């Protein structure tokens, strides 16, 4: 059994485990990709009910928001940003480098490009369905001289796909399971454009188990905690945000966390200024709201996470001298990379006495979830800036963790 690269599983006999890989539309950002991981994890759980599978974590790199110059940000393993043992307490996962070692070479047996139905969805009864169809868009793969498929493959230029085909999908992630279990003999399968899959049970137990297992890498949490202590007078003991390294043992009641004596803010700028102009305030409007919240909650410091350009951050400093930001040195940026700096920002915002974010931003969404996990009162968490012309400034809806 072992000689064939397989393993003997209780009740299942000698089985070769399958490798599930996936990728996301290149323009999608770091925090949307974290959400897609939750969807794919749900699919893996469905597969594990019948066969032995492992999820191969797609290396990070070349994301739109990671624009720091002269820093190599390709082929980044998940362990740079997340705690792998924590992920493995939810589903079996391995890094891509381990997949290369185990599978015997840089080959993926089958690549399925997920797409919508060409005819679209007609109003009426919702129907989950999946069909192998001709590819709607031009494939981002090309054949080499050996008839293997070349593609992006997370920056691993030597990787090849043996077969590529398109699947039209309409439904939740686990709709793919029958295809992987019955319709293919491929040992390694990659789902490209996995963002086309929906959540199996959004906000349910499986969702939260996967989300809670996405524990930030400890070295990033340590940096964030030290910054809180040094510049924001914030510690877990004083803030009642004691953290259990084992997420399966961390069960808190909402409202038990107090948070550090500062306001946490995520102020999205750049493409949101024109892409969501109705939801984003001007800098002066944002400062006015921040000052109002600081006065209301009797806070003397505000921590701001923002993607604002240099000119805007300088303007913020003038308008808001109480502002504190995590501004990494060159060495820190090179070590933690843009993704790590974003996590440090989120971690600090997650521990604030009160948080307000940016409408429809997945960066803010992830902070909402983190604060929920830490036990903050939803009233201090689910808040956002409003566009200055908004008549009805609806605030985010909160949900409850299901243990």
Catalytic center residues: 28
Rounded to whole angstroms, what are the CA distances from 179 to 45, 114, 120?
15, 12, 22
Q: Cα(304)–Cα(262) distance, rounded to whole angstroms?
A: 10
Question: Would you tell me how many other CB atoms lie within 10 Å of the CB of residue 25?
Answer: 13
Strands 107-108, 160-161: pairing is parallel
SS3 86: helix
Give the burial class of 330: count Cβ atoms within 10 A of its Cβ; 0-12 exposed, 13-18 middle, 19 or more buried.
exposed
Are the beta carbons of 195 and 24 closer than 8 angstroms? yes
- For 90, phi then psi, to 5°, come to -105, -50
Neighbours of 137 (CB within 10 A): 9
Compute the distance between CA of residue 301 and CA of residue 121 in angstroms, rounded to an integer.
49
What does the alpha-carbon distance between residue 279 and residue 389 come to, in Å, rounded to a whole number? 8
Question: Strand 149-150 relative to strand 53-57: parallel, antiparallel, unpaired?
Answer: unpaired
Cα distance between residue 272 and residue 264, in whole Å: 19
Report the chain's C-alpha Rg in angstroms: 22
Whose CA is closest to 302, among 200, 370, 374, 231? 231
Distance CA(57)–CA(53), nearest Å, equals 13
Asked whether the beta carbons of 54 and 94 are under 8 A apart, the reply is: yes
CB proximity list for 173: less than 8 A, separation 6 or greater: 39, 40, 42, 43, 46, 197, 198, 199, 200
Q: Hunting for tokens 């939750």 — which residue is that?
A: 38
Sequence-ordered strand ranges (E) for 220-375 = 260-267, 302-306, 323-324, 352-356
- Residue 120's SS3 state is coil
């Amino acid at each position: 059994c072992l000689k064939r690269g397989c393993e003997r599983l209780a009740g299942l006999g000698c089985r070769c485990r399958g490798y599930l890989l996936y990728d996301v539309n290149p323009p999608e950002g770091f925090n949307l990709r974290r959400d897609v991981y939750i969807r794919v994890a749900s699919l893996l759980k469905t597969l594990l009910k019948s066969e032995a599978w492992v999820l191969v974590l797609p290396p990070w790199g070349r994301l739109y928001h990671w624009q720091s110059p002269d820093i190599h940000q390709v082929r980044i393993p998940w362990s740079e940003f997340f705690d792998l043992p924590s992920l493995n307490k939810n589903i079996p996962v391995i890094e891509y480098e381990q997949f290369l070692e185990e599978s015997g070479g840089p080959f993926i047996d089958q690549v399925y490009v997920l797409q919508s139905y060409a005819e679209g969805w007609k109003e009426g009864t919702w129907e989950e369905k999946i069909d192998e169809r001709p590819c709607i868009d031009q494939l981002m793969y090309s054949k080499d001289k050996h008839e293997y498929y070349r593609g992006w493959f997370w920056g691993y230029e030597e990787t090849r796909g043996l077969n590529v085909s398109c699947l039209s999908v309409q439904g939740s992630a686990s709709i793919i399971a029958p295809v992987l279990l019955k319709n293919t003999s491929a040992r390694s399968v990659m789902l490209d454009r996995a963002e086309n899959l929906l959540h199996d049970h959004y906000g349910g137990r499986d969702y939260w188990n996967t989300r809670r297992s996405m524990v930030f890498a400890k070295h990033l949490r340590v940096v964030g905690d030290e910054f809180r202590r040094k510049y924001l007078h914030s510690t877990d003991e004083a803030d009642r945000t004691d953290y259990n390294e084992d997420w399966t043992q961390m069960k808190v009641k909402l409202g038990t966390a107090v948070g550090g004596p500062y306001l946490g803010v995520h102020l999205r700028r750049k493409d949101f200024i024109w892409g969501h102009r109705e939801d984003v305030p001007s800098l002066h409007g944002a400062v006015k709201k921040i000052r109002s919240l600081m006065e209301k909650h009797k806070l003397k410091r505000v921590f701001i996470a923002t993607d604002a350009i240099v000119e805007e951050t300088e303007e913020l400093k003038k308008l808001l001298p109480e502002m504190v930001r995590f501004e990494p040195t060159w060495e820190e940026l090179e070590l933690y990379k843009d993704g790590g700096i974003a996590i440090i920002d989120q971690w600090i915002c997650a521990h604030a006495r009160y948080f307000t974010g940016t409408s429809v931003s997945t960066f803010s969404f992830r902070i909402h979830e983190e604060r929920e996990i830490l036990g903050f009162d939803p009233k201090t968490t689910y808040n956002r800036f409003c566009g200055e012309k908004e008549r009805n400034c609806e605030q985010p809806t909160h949900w409850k963790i299901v243990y």
